Amino acid sequence: MILNKIKITLLTALGMFFVAGVTQASAETVNLQGDFTAQTFWLISMAMVAATAFFFLERDTVSVKWRTSLTLAGIVTGVAAWHYMYMRGYWVENQTSPVVLRYVDWLITVPILMVEFYIILKAVSNVASSVFWKLLIASLVMLVFGYLGEAGMMNVMTAFVISMAAWLYIIYEIFAGEAGQASASSGNGPAQTAFNALRLIVTIGWAVYPLGYAVGYFGGGIDAGSLNVIYNFADFINKIAFGLIIYVAAKADSN
């Protein structure tokens, strides 16, 4: 009974939160007909809202050790949904990439996604806290220098190299480093399956972003509309699918 009341309160607050966001973003929006890029912004924002509600509603159906992971998954998609509403309004009004808004979103959500690796390992093994800090700091370095280069605040090539080095370090850490070793020795099948799937997303799914960055600045350029469509659907996979993989593992382990 108490859990049902908590869920109702949570959904009510979530609904009010996103209605306010939609109202604000709608003030800047014109007819979306004929603007495919704007349509993808809207589609992804609604998908993020739905995913947020799903993760928060389902967190109480898994064992306690997995609930933090599902809460973080819901926070990631919730923050992304809010930013996508404003990015869509910015795109419709200016027809240019919402660089600052997108990086603000990434600076919040990407470190949380990195922390998810630690939270999963912590639920099934005695992983060292150093894994938490390694993944968190590397993700921040990757994003901060990516933004500095894209915003013209430092040499683009230098910023790109540093950002790529941080991403490659993350890949090393979750495959062969302390995090990868902790997963391999955990002995928990669902957690290992989720960990393996998540690191493929970080390796393959995240490759879209540096490729878009490289093409935009070193490869002759790509139009802003196409680039944002690619980024939008990459976020759909890298955030919603990321959370769903954790949910499937949590249900399997809980059962």
- In the chain, what are the domain boundaries? 2-254
pTM score, whole prediction: 0.87
Mean pLDDT of 51-58: 94
Count other C-beta atoms under 10 Å from residue 1's C-beta: 5
Q: pLDDT tens digit string along 209-223? A: 888 777 766 656 678
Q: Which amino acid is at 96?
A: T
Q: What does 159-173 look like in DSSP terms, one character per residue?
A: HHHHHHHHHHHHHHH
What's the whole-number average pLDDT of the chain?
86
Report pLDDT for 13. Answer: 56
For residue 96, give the nearest of 148, 38, 45, 149 by alpha carbon. 38
Find the range with the poorest average confidence among 6-15, 20-29, 191-200, 235-244: 20-29
What is the architecture, at CATH level 2, of domain 2-254? Up-down Bundle (1.20)
- DSSP annotation of 128: -
Give residues with Cβ within 8 angstroms of 89, minimum separation 6. 24, 25, 26, 27, 28, 29
Report pLDDT for 217. Answer: 66
